[in-house]
Each structure stands twice: as C-alpha cells, then as structure tokens.
C-alpha cells in the first residue's frame, strides 16, 4: 500500500500461541500493523497509553484485568481507539457486559480470518461489527420476556440517525447525509442511548430492532 496509513493494532490475549496465530494472519494484510502485544489486562492498559493504537483486539478472560475492564478503561479515558473483542465466550452475560462497556465489535475465535480482518477495519472506521451467532443470541435475549423492559420516545431525527447507524454509516457519514454537524450527531446519540438504556451504537441498534423500531433486514448484516 506504499505510504498509505496503516491501521495500528494492539493485540491482547493471555495465550501466546493464540496471539501468534492471530498476528500471523493479521500481518498478511497490507493495511495492518501490530504495534504491541499484551498477555494480561494491566499490561494492556499500560501499552494502550504508551502506543495509542487505532484498534485494540481484546480477549475477555485475562489475568489482572479482563477485556471488559480494559474496555471500560479505554472509554473512561476517552481514547479514540476502536475496540474489538475476540473471544471464545458467547454467553449472554459476557455479550451484555461487553456492549455496555463500550466495545465496537464482538467476534468469536472460530470466525474466519477474513471476517476478523474486516471487523478490524469496521471498528477502525467507526462502525460496529458482530459475529452472526452473537447477533442471533442478543436479539433473542432482548426480545425475551426476561429481557430488559424499555419504552421508546425517540424523535423523528433520532430515528433517522439510528437507522443510518444500523446501515453501517459512521457519525461523519450520518452528519453529511442529514446535513448536520458531527457534534449534533453525537448529541443525538447521547439522547438515543439515554432513551434506549444503551451504552453503545451496537447495543442501541440491537434494542431498536428488537423493539420493532427498525426493520430487522436493515441491520441483518455483521456490521452496523
């Protein structure tokens, strides 16, 4: 890719052989650069502050601090880092905790390498990415009687913003399409999150679909 900017990635997993395998196929992509590796959570936090990568690929279960704790740490510090959770866990409590912590993507380690690479590019671009099986599980949970009870009074403009997010549009693209500023888009998302009791775009879109606010076929892809 010549002098084109590469996506700088931090890879955190407590199993060296897993990190080596992930690194091997990621480095085959011309637009990726692994800038740091970590084997536990506290080390991950230190390396994130040191390197400020574009994307952090995190496992959930790590010594000293989990991937969920690291995700919260990134969001509390307001670092502009895309967070992709790459894990073997597909249990509802983990998925819910990851979404609430503010992760941009959730992919299982059984995913195809090309799918993981695409997930990295999506979270880097400001979109969200979720494994197909994860989407099915979360939608089932949100629509179940035991799932969260939420009522929505989203305005027409908030619905426009959320629908465009469901289609995979970034904040900048949404602002351009609606002829409003990026800051205004961020303000709309803040209100959407409050009304839907969501902590991320991914969670908000999923809740909107489960409530019938957005047609399922619009968000029926891995990315939104």
Domain presence at residue 217: no
CB 90 within 8 A of CB 133: yes
- How does the average pLDDT of the chain come out, rounded? 84
pLDDT digits 0-9 by tens, 138-169: 666 555 544 554 556 888 899 899 888 888 78
User: Higher-confidence residue: 211 or 131?
Assistant: 131
pLDDT digits 0-9 by tens, 93-120: 777 788 788 888 889 888 899 999 999 9
50, with CB counted inside 10 A (0-12, 13-18, 19+), is exposed
Question: Which CATH number fits the domain that encloses residue 171?
Answer: 1.10.10.10
Domain presence at residue 69: yes
Question: Which CATH number fits the domain that encloses residue 84?
Answer: 3.40.50.2300
Q: Is the pLDDT of residue 220 over 60?
A: no
- The runs of H, that is alpha helices, within the chain are 16-26, 41-51, 67-76, 92-101, 113-124, 132-143, 156-166, 171-178, 182-196, 201-210
Residues 151 and 197 in one domain: yes
pTM of the entire predicted model = 0.68
Give the structural domain span for 20. 7-130
- What average pLDDT does range 8-27 have in this prediction? 95
Using CA atoms, how far apart are residues 205 and 128, in angstroms rounded to an integer? 10
What is the total count of domains within the chain?
A: 2
CB 166 within 8 A of CB 214: yes
Residues 49 and 112 in one domain: yes
Residues 12 and 123 in one domain: yes
Residues 103 and 20 in one domain: yes
Angle formed by the axes of helices 92-101 and 201-210, nearest 10°:
130
Residues 13 and 108 in one domain: yes
| H or E element in which residue 34 lies | strand 32-38
């Amino acid at each position: 890719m010549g002098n084109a900017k590469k996506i700088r990635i931090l890879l955190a997993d407590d199993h060296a052989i897993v990190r080596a395998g992930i690194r091997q196929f990621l480095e085959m992509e011309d637009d990726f650069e692994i800038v740091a590796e970590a084997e536990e959570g506290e080390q991950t936090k230190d390396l994130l502050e040191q390197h400020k990568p574009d994307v952090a690929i995190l496992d959930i279960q790590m010594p000293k601090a989990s991937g969920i704790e690291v995700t919260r740490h990134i969001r509390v510090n307001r670092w502009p880092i895309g967070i992709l959770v790459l894990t073997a866990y597909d249990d509802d409590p983990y998925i819910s905790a990851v979404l609430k912590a503010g992760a941009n993507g959730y992919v299982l380690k059984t995913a195809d390498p090309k799918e993981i690479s695409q997930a990295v590019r999506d979270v880097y671009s400001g979109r969200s990415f979720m494994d197909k099986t994860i989407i099915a599980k979360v939608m089932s949970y949100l629509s179940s009687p035991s799932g969260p009870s939420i009522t929505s009074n989203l305005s027409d403009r908030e619905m426009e913003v959320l629908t465009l997010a469901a289609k995979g549009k970034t904040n900048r693209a949404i602002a351009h399409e609606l002829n409003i500023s990026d800051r205004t888009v961020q303000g709309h998302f803040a209100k959407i999150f409050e009304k839907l009791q969501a902590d991320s775009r991914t969670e908000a879109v999923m809740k909107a679909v489960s409530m019938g606010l957005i047609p399922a076929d619009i968000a029926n892809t891995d990315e939104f």
